[in-house]
Amino acid sequence: MKIYFAGSIRGGREDAALYQEIIDYLKNFGEVLTEHIGDPKLSHLGNDGESDAFIHNRDMEWLISSDIIVAEVTTVSMGVGYEIGRAVEMGKNVLCLFRPAKNKNLSAMIAGCPGVSLVEYAKPGDAKKAISAFLKGH
């Protein structure tokens, strides 16, 4: 199974360690195409490609080739929203994970999208349970 993990880069890197924990868990189920999202050395500018066009095209190839998408959506990110929208448009199975907290608001475009499975969670263990349940259903 090819898994596309989406998490904030330019929107903020405060959850990079959490992303890495989720990515490590996802590896139990298949190949994670976007392992670099959890890399603590990846800057908020996403300096992992020679240009924005390169990053877009590479990531779109990964998105197209993926079987499922798992997105951590607590930190607002236009890029993650774009990826989710494109994945839904392609008919991909999409799981969005959100940690409710003060000053954290989930976009209605994600929360209200019928093509997205949305799970609110408090701890990484809860996210892992949600991932397991989602993958069993797909």
What is the per-residue pLDDT across 114-127, written as a single tens digit (0 to 9) for each?
999 999 999 999 99
| Residue stretches of the annotated binding site | 19, 83, 107-109
pLDDT in tens, 13-33: 889 999 999 999 999 999 999
Q: What is the CATH number of domain 2-136?
A: 3.40.50.450
pLDDT the model gives residue 47:
65
Residues 95 and 128 sit within 8 Å (Cβ to Cβ): no
pLDDT of residue 42: 79
CB 7 within 8 A of CB 72: yes
What token pair was written down for 117? Answer: 């499975």
Confidence bin at 45 (pLDDT 50/70/90): low
What is the rounded distance in angstroms from the CA atom of residue 97 to the CA atom of residue 133? Answer: 13
Residue 66: φ, ψ to 5°: -75, 155
Annotated binding-site ranges for substrate: 19, 83, 107-109
Contact criterion met (CB below 8 Å) for 59 and 94: no
pLDDT tens digits along 57-109: 999 999 999 999 999 999 999 999 999 999 999 999 999 999 998 888 999 99
Could you give the C-alpha distances from 60 to 85, 118, 138, in angstroms and in order?
Answer: 12, 22, 22
